[in-house]
Amino acid sequence: MIDEQTIKEMEITTENIKAVFKDHDDVMYKVAFIRGEPELRADLVYVDGMADVSSINEDIIKPLNENPVFQRVNTQEEAYEAAVNGGIYHGSMVMLKDMEELVSTLLFGFTVVVFDGIKKAIAFETKGFKYRSVTAAQEENTYKSPKDAFVENIRVNVSLIRQKIISRHLAVSELDVGTLSNTPCSILYMSNICNEEFVEIIKTRLKNMKQEDALSMQDVYESLVEHKYTMFPQAKSTESSSIVCSSLMEGKVAVLINGIPYALIFPMVFGDLFNSSFDYNINFALASFFRIMRYASFLFTLLLPGIYVAIAEFHPEMIPFALLNAIGAAKAGTPFNTVLEILIMSFTFYVLIQVSMQVPTSMGSAVSIVGGIVLGQAAVQAQLVSPGVIVVIAAASIAALAIPNKDANFAVWIWQGFITILTSVYGLYGLSAGFILFLYCLARLESLGVPYLSPYIHPSKMQPEDSFIRFPLTDIQYRPIYLKPKEKERKKK
Amino acid sequence: MKKKRLFVMLSLLLFLTGCSSLPHKIPLEDIQAILIAGIDVNEGMVELTVMSVGSQPGSGDKKGEEAIKIYEATGKTVFEAKQNLSLYNDKHLIWAHLEYIIIGEDTARAGIAPHLDFFLRHHENRLTDDLIVAKNMTAREFIRSTDTAQPKINEKIRHLFKDAEIKSTIRNVNLKTWALKHLSDTMYVILPVLSTTERTHKEKEQQEEGTQKKDIRTDGYAVFNREGKLIDYASLEYSRGINWITDEIHSTAVVIEPESGAQLSAQIIRSKTKLEIDEEAVSLNVDISLIFNIPEYTGNKELYDLEYGGLIKGKLEDMIEKEVIDTVKYLQSLDADAINIGNVYYHKYPKRWPMMKDMWEEKFRQMNVNVSVRSTLRNTYNILNPMEKE
């Protein structure tokens, strides 16, 4: 076991490389002799599978043997100079300073040419590993919008964005995250729009990230957000490059991580939970209507079971007689009280959601049959639960799905259960207390210093053009003010 | 620290609710909603009759049904009678959905105010409950004789009040309006009257069982005096007269005889009444402007003939004028200002009202009434010419 410090102090030789990688059978060594002379020896080292062998042959071995420059060299020193000065005609070349750098570049798919005699080495990029090609987005709505979704390769992902924003202002700063995994990570922003503070905060937090690896998005996400204990998302994750582009244009920052086909967009506010790319691809009136519906569904999900419990258990005077009678008639004869019915059905729904996420698609139909018929219809026929409760739970739970953000769906369901339980003890008073508590929990959140409830908490700064409703795109003149962009006004020619 | 403190405060909200115990649970399936309450007073005891509806469990695929129950209880006060209901009610009775309070005739004549105190005071009741006087019977008799499952009494009454616009002979009066008028110096109370009538159609089962269920009909207004005691029932004509003066006519029909042997129905579709009174309260001007259609005519004249049209309008206006004057005379004979002229006077001459207040009955009795009616014919519906040949 060689520690980091020892590696750093090692001399660059093939022997040392072999020592470092003694348990690594996929590290390949190849000897090349310039002009076939044993004194002019260069050792090629690469990782099998990461490096492209044909590229090694064409771009490194072939020039070493055939380039006339090497015909004139007599020592390894001269050969090294010749290689550095264009003898090996390769676009991407790194002159390695020490063993540590050698190790990381080698593992990243470079081929290292070691000159043992002078203890120097050059690395050439010969990355040749396989990655998934760009396909259509599967999890997000792409109605009338670009279909390309991110893949696992960060270079491809950045290029997808570069293709859409052809501007010198699109800044990409790169650093490695994960103390062990050294995963490449890119921070993208528009240098002429984005508030520098955001970029600084993200860079600092990424540098201070203590996670050993960055294999999942959550590793990075949890190191970047202020509030780890809230259920509401503080960064938007998306697989669509066009959403990233439009967010960058607003003045937000995107974080891309190698190996993860999603981008994290910071900062996120409450209103973003209800915005969908769909909104920007349909008529503004329709978009506004759907957006209002989403807010309504959100309140519906959060409060409906609570309101039902409050009415059915505490405040029968709140509803008109006809409705009271209809609910009462359906309820009469069932063994459990309304609260218990609601909790049982909510629990069942949570289980169904869980199951449907876990089971393979081949078993999905069985789940839906059991869920739909046995738990719903049969429970009513057997008079175990009243139909009113099933309607309420089904409507409230399904309404949550109208919120485009999946993390928010789950959060709303949990809060729904909490508010229902409070209501079952305190009646309408509990309902209001629960809702106030909910608002309190949202109001205390911040994402990169931006209050989570922006822009709704600042009536003076409220920008109605893209909030509850959306104006025609040509009328949206300003970028969101709460992001404090460098350029407040959108450039219109 | 600040956040923690806020969180603690919010949590305390839940536990320091100011209530000595957790809210009282009343599950829906355990309640009967009272929809109709009848009040009679017999030998100093309040007899309370309530019609309540609850839900009955269904079985298997069968849906739960409505369970209509009539409960009766007696007590020294309405509240005690209400408490006594709990001695034998099936389920917990709630008062929030009460729609109509029916008052028996004898009780109305003896004064209703003391018995409505509970309905205004107790938090379970609403001020939107309508008050009704049952003519020639006690409230208990009224509820018993008209109770049916389909439609329920409250539904029947609701529809009657809705359709009352067609004739404009009554208008519903709720607790709030009643209290306002009862407590005011300037207004007199009138309440709508319901009576029973033999069934106009008999359902098959009832014929077989021979039960004597009756139909409900509206029967104009009951006029109350200052003390809140019923003094007389106004006939349908006088009731409509009251509505003419108080501007409560939505639609009504007036039949006139433009020439001998021919009848013409004038359907009033819109009407506006303005009242004016002089400072000495000697004469009252009633100014009615209305729009009418002609849905039926049995004569043979050209309706759009200018001269004939003028004749129709003149007859209609005279007829309404007479109806209004008769109504005022009738009310003057009762010494009851049920058309609230006192209120009109008070709003016009608020400073003079204190002087006038004590002699208002006298003033009202001697008041002259001038009525002017202006009518406009809007249309004659689908046909222009009469069906009767010349």
Characterize the bridge pairing of strands A450-451 and A446-447.
Answer: antiparallel
d(CA B295, CA B303): 12
Q: Enumerate the domain spans of chain A.
A: 4-125, 154-268, 283-450
Radius of gyration, CA atoms only, chain B: 26
pLDDT tier at B60, thresholds 50, 70, 90: low
Among the partner-chain residues B25, B59, B66, the one whose CB lies closest to the CB of A325 is B66
| pLDDT tens-digit series, residues A248-279 | 999 999 999 999 999 999 999 998 999 888 88
d(CA B39, CA B140): 7
| Rounded mean pLDDT, A126-134 | 82
End position of a domain, from candidates B188, B218, B233: B233
B305 Rama sector, left if φ>0, alpha if ψ -120 to 50, beta otherwise: beta
pLDDT tier at A99, thresholds 50, 70, 90: confident
d(CA B278, CA B363): 12
pLDDT tier at B272, thresholds 50, 70, 90: very high
pLDDT above 60 (res B172): yes
Residues of B in contact with A333 (CB under 8 A): 29, 57-59, 64
pLDDT reported for residue A86: 80
pLDDT reported for residue A89: 79
Given a contact cutoff of 8 angstroms between Cβ atoms, the answer to whether A271 and A467 are in contact is: yes
Q: Is residue B2 one of the residues assigned to a domain?
A: no
**Of A242, A231, A234, nearest in space to A400 by CA:** A231
**Chain B contact present for A381, CB below 8 A:** yes
**Of A117, A58, A70, A122, nearest in space to A96 by CA:** A122
Residues of A in contact with B129 (CB under 8 A): none
Residue with tokens 């490389």: A17
pLDDT tier at B58, thresholds 50, 70, 90: low
| B213 plus B243 within the same structural domain | no
| B261 plus B206 within the same structural domain | no
| pLDDT tens-digit series, residues B322-351 | 999 999 999 999 999 999 999 999 999 999
| B190 plus B308 within the same structural domain | no
Structure tokens at A329: 């008639």
pLDDT tier at A127, thresholds 50, 70, 90: confident
Residue with tokens 């792409």: A142
**Which of A121-130, A380-389, B374-383 has the highest average model confidence (pLDDT)?**
B374-383
**Chain A contact present for B280, CB below 8 A:** no
B-chain residue closest to A323, CA distance: B28
Q: How far is B6 from chain A (nearest CA, A)?
A: 9
pLDDT tier at B17, thresholds 50, 70, 90: low
pLDDT reported for residue B318: 94
Give me the phi and psi of B248, to 5 degrees please. -110, 15
pLDDT above 90 (res A333): no
Return the higher-pLDDT residue of A233 and B5: A233
Taking CB atoms and an 8 Å limit, are B97 and A321 in contact across chains? yes
Number of structural domains chain B divides into:
2
**Chain A contact present for B14, CB below 8 A:** yes
pLDDT tier at A351, thresholds 50, 70, 90: confident
pLDDT reported for residue A411: 92
Q: How long a stretch of residues is chain A?
A: 493
Taking CB atoms and an 8 Å limit, are A426 and B27 in contact across chains? no
Contacts of B14 (CB under 8 A, 6+ apart): A422, A426, A430, A433
**Chain A contact present for B90, CB below 8 A:** no
Supply the mean pLDDT for chain A.
88
| Rounded mean pLDDT, B305-331 | 92
Return the higher-pLDDT residue of B100 and B148: B100
pLDDT reported for residue B213: 80
Q: How far is B116 from chain A (nearest CA, A)?
A: 20
Q: Is residue B273 one of the residues assigned to a domain?
A: yes
Q: Could you give the angle at the alpha carbon of B53 between the alpha carbons of B50 and B59, nearest 5°?
A: 150
| B46 plus B129 within the same structural domain | yes
Q: Which domain holds residue B357?
A: 239-385
Structure ipTM over 0.90, yes or no: no
**Chain A contact present for B56, CB below 8 A:** yes
**Chain B contact present for A444, CB below 8 A:** yes
pLDDT reported for residue A264: 95
Q: Is residue B4 one of the residues assigned to a domain?
A: no
End position of a domain, from candidates B233, B265, B281: B233
A-chain residue closest to B63, CA distance: A330
pLDDT reported for residue A260: 93
User: Could you count the other beta carbons within 10 Å of the beta carbon of residue B181?
Assistant: 20
Residue with tokens 């670009």: A146
pLDDT tier at B202, thresholds 50, 70, 90: low
Range with lowest mean pLDDT among A167-171, A197-201, A371-375: A371-375
Tell me which DSSP letter residue A16 carries.
Answer: H
pLDDT above 90 (res A97): no
In whole angstroms, how far apart are CA A386 and each of A305, A314, A491? 14, 17, 58
pLDDT reported for residue A251: 93
**CATH at B251:** 3.30.300.210
In whole angstroms, how far apart are CA B140 and each of A316, A450, B128, B196? 27, 68, 22, 13
In whole angstroms, how far apart are CA B97 and each of A116, A316, B104? 97, 9, 21
Q: Write out the E strands in A143-211.
A: 170-177, 183-190
Contacts of A293 (CB under 8 A, 6+ apart): A402
| B77 plus B219 within the same structural domain | yes
**Chain A contact present for B155, CB below 8 A:** no
| pLDDT tens-digit series, residues B281-294 | 889 999 999 999 99
Residues of A in contact with B3 (CB under 8 A): 444
Taking CB atoms and an 8 Å limit, are B31 and A331 in contact across chains? no
Given a contact cutoff of 8 angstroms between Cβ atoms, the answer to whether A147 and A87 are in contact is: no
| pLDDT tens-digit series, residues A48-67 | 888 888 888 888 888 888 88
Q: How long a stretch of residues is chain B?
A: 390
| B167 plus B39 within the same structural domain | yes
Given a contact cutoff of 8 angstroms between Cβ atoms, the answer to whether A164 and A242 are in contact is: yes
pLDDT reported for residue A321: 87
| Rounded mean pLDDT, B116-125 | 92
End position of a domain, from candidates B213, B233, B253: B233
pLDDT above 80 (res A1): no
Burial-class residue A192 by CB neighbours within 10 Å (0-12, 13-18, 19+).
middle
In whole angstroms, how far apart are CA A302 and each of A275, A413, A430, A484, B14? 18, 7, 13, 32, 19
Residues of A in contact with B26 (CB under 8 A): 313-314, 316
End-to-end CA distance of chain A: 63
Contacts of B272 (CB under 8 A, 6+ apart): B247, B288, B289, B290
Given a contact cutoff of 8 angstroms between Cβ atoms, the answer to whether B324 and B288 are in contact is: yes
Q: Residues 303-332, chain B: which have Cβ within 8 Å of A?
A: none
Cis upstream peptide for A267 (omega within 30°): yes
**Of A58, A60, A50, nearest in space to A108 by CA:** A50
**Chain B contact present for A328, CB below 8 A:** yes
Supply the mean pLDDT for chain B.
88
Beta bridge partners of B195: B217
pLDDT reported for residue A81: 87
A-chain residue closest to B58, CA distance: A333
A-chain residue closest to B55, CA distance: A329
Cis upstream peptide for B258 (omega within 30°): no
Taking CB atoms and an 8 Å limit, are A317 and B27 in contact across chains? no
Taking CB atoms and an 8 Å limit, are A422 and B14 in contact across chains? yes
Q: Is residue B7 one of the residues assigned to a domain?
A: no
Beta bridge partners of B291: B270, B376
d(CA B230, CA B223): 6
Return the higher-pLDDT residue of B309 and B287: B287
**Of B100, B116, B91, B131, nearest in space to B41 by CA:** B116
Q: Is residue B8 one of the residues assigned to a domain?
A: no
Taking CB atoms and an 8 Å limit, are A427 and B23 in contact across chains? yes
pLDDT reported for residue A41: 86
Helix intervals (H) in B49-152? 78-85, 105-110, 113-121, 139-146
Give me the phi and psi of B195, to 5 degrees please. -130, 170
Contacts of A59 (CB under 8 A, 6+ apart): A88, A89, A90, A124, A126
| Rounded mean pLDDT, A411-432 | 91
pLDDT reported for residue B46: 95
Residue with tokens 């002089």: B278
**Chain B contact present for A431, CB below 8 A:** no
Crossing angle between the packed helical segments A387-400 and A406-426, to the nearest 10 degrees: 140
pLDDT above 90 (res B224): yes
Among the partner-chain residues B14, B28, B64, the one whose CB lies closest to the CB of A333 is B64
| Rounded mean pLDDT, A145-152 | 90
Structure tokens at A423: 């209501």
| B310 plus B343 within the same structural domain | yes
B-chain residue closest to A332, CA distance: B57
B-chain residue closest to A383, CA distance: B60
**Chain A contact present for B63, CB below 8 A:** yes
Return the higher-pLDDT residue of A371 and B145: B145
d(CA B131, CA B177): 10
> Which run of H or of E encompasses B9?
helix B2-15
Helix, strand, coil percent values for chain B (each to nearest 5): 35, 30, 35
Residues of A in contact with B23 (CB under 8 A): 314, 426-427, 429
**Which of A247-251, B197-201, B378-382 has the highest average model confidence (pLDDT)?**
A247-251
Q: What percent of chain A has pLDDT over 70?
A: 99
pLDDT above 60 (res B210): no
Among the partner-chain residues A314, A329, A427, the one whose CB lies closest to the CB of B66 is A329
pLDDT above 80 (res B321): yes
Structure tokens at A362: 């081949």
pLDDT above 60 (res B206): no
pLDDT tier at B303, thresholds 50, 70, 90: confident
Structure tokens at B97: 């959905």
pLDDT reported for residue B185: 86
| B275 plus B334 within the same structural domain | yes
